[in-house]
Amino acid sequence: MSDDLDNESDDETTEELRDFFLTNLEAIANYAFGDDLITVRLDDQDVKKGYVKLHSSPENEIEFDYLNYYLRAESLFSEEKQIEIFLQLAKFYERDGHIGG
């Protein structure tokens, strides 16, 4: 019985973590693509891989390295743009219940 409870707990943690990564993907993709963004999707096997569909090419699902985009923000963008990305993440974290009350 204990193993079943541990597995349930692991499943919940995995799902919560996957939701958190999806929130990151959605927030960063919204920032990067703006109104061109249609949908986002995490890879089924690797949450570090994200995919987007854009209005400019709706027939294609494009791999989007959202974590690298965020990590490279410091070298790619001005401080003002970095703050915008951070605020975008915070807005989505709050919306999805990862922060706030």
At 48-69, the pLDDT tens digits run 899 999 999 999 999 999 999 9
* pLDDT tier, 7 (very low <50, low <70, confident <90, very high otherwise): low
For residues 1 and 24, which has the higher predicted lDDT (pLDDT)? 24
Q: How many helices (H) and strands (E) does the chain have?
A: 4, 3
For residues 29 and 99, which has the higher predicted lDDT (pLDDT)? 29
Max CA pair span of the chain: 54
* pLDDT tier, 99 (very low <50, low <70, confident <90, very high otherwise): confident
For 41-78, where are the alpha helices, taking DSSP H only? 66-71, 73-76
pLDDT at 5: 45
The model carries a pTM of 0.81
State the distance between the two ends of the chain, measured CA to CA, in whole angstroms. Answer: 34
Distance of CA 6 to the CA centre of its chain: 27
